[in-house]
Amino acid sequence: MSFELILPFFPDELRSLLLDTSISDLMINGTTGIYADRGGVIEKITLSTPYTNDRLQAAIERVARILGQDLTSQNPILNTRLPDGSRVAVVGSPSSINGPTFTVRKFNRWFTSDELIKSGSLPEQIRDTVIGFIAGRKNGIISGGTGSGKTTLMKALLDHVPLHERLIVIEQPAELKLTHPNAVRWEAVDAIPGQVAVTQSQLVAAAMRHRPDRIIMGEVRDECGYDLLQAMNTGHGGTLSTIHAKSAWDALNRLSDLALSARANLNHSFIRSETAEAIDFVLYCERDHAGRRRVRELIAVKGYSHAEQSFETEQLYLASSALAVA
């Protein structure tokens, strides 16, 4: 199944936007406006031929059906992916007031670490330091906000994992395109009619029985953080994951909080010390007001102070507040 399978359901102008490789995110707000993210800058797109919400709704319903789901008034939210890994997110009637909201985050191409260095997104010394961590089977987190380049950076860093190693890659949705011949890709899925949910926690537990050299978590977003910590603290080194956070230090707190949500009786200090024991380094990515993405921060995790109830970290890199070079 190819990306082009969904194109016949849309008007010609929307087809062109979906195929435009300069657009990373296409956002359709019903019939009230179409917006595109080009190079990190959002611009409004004006169509020469208007369309109706009914036509947009019909197109989205057919896309959902091709992707194995149904979009109805009883099930108005859709989060899925296209065959190339591009994300499709929909909120329909009755929740979306001005017509269905349809957002596609496209992966037009993946970048190598050399290309990220050349673009100014990744300092060379930080790339080399992190590659050293990866070679030493250290566990790391890539943190940042939405659209900050976390997944792109993860893919570039995973290119440096030895090709003979066995990787279990767990995502929701599946996005990463890896060159490793022994990389197994798993996808957590939500429950839909006729299909039970398969959670990230279940897949982490299953990964332990499939002889991984490394467990790669696309994004830690719920109580699976607890299961991931247990995997890292029972001898599974070399783990790499992403997480939404507002700084490198905050990523540790966020991971701890997600792990705590797994069990009502967990001790906060214990989980934070488990987090400090499991995680060796944290990268923080940002997107500045001009839309340019860069690595802003790298810290090493040294431990957890029970007396001060605080993570002990060493700042290895902090970018200046000046804008990244395009």
Q: Give the Cα separation of 54 and 31 in Å (integer).
A: 10
152-185 per-position pLDDT tens digit: 999 999 999 999 999 999 998 888 888 899 999 9
Span 30-55, pLDDT tens digits? 988 999 998 778 899 998 988 888 88
CB 243, CB 224: distance < 8 Å: no
- Indicate if the pLDDT at residue 213 is higher than 90: yes
Question: Residue 321: pLDDT band by 50, 70, 90 thresholds?
Answer: low
pTM: 0.82
pLDDT digits (tens, 9 = 90+) for 98-116: 899 999 988 777 899 999 9
Q: Give the Cα separation of 236 and 251 in Å (integer).
A: 20
Q: What is the pLDDT of residue 2?
A: 52
pLDDT in the model for residue 153: 96
Q: How confident is the model at residue 191 (pLDDT cuts 50, 70, 90)?
A: confident
| Per-residue pLDDT, 324 | 41
Higher model confidence: residue 5 or residue 277? Answer: 277
DSSP label at residue 10: S
Assign 220 a pLDDT band (cuts: 50, 70, 90).
very high
Supply the pLDDT for residue 179. Answer: 87
- Computed over every residue of the chain, the mean pLDDT equals 90
Which residue, chain included where needed, has tokens 């979906």?
A: 18
- In this predicted model, what pLDDT tens digit does every residue of 57-69 receive, in sequence order? 888 888 888 877 7
Sequence-ordered list of residues with C-beta below 8 angstroms from that of 264, at least 6 positions apart, any chain = none
If we measure between CA atoms, which residue out of 260, 268, 265 comes closest to residue 310?
268
Helix (H) or strand (E) holding 130: helix 124-135
Element (H, E) at 88: strand 87-91
Query: Looking at the predicted structure, is the pLDDT value of residue 323 above 60?
Result: no
Q: Which one-letter amino acid corresponds to residue 246?
A: K
- pLDDT digit string, tens, across residues 227-284: 999 999 988 899 999 999 999 999 999 999 999 998 878 899 999 999 999 999 999 9
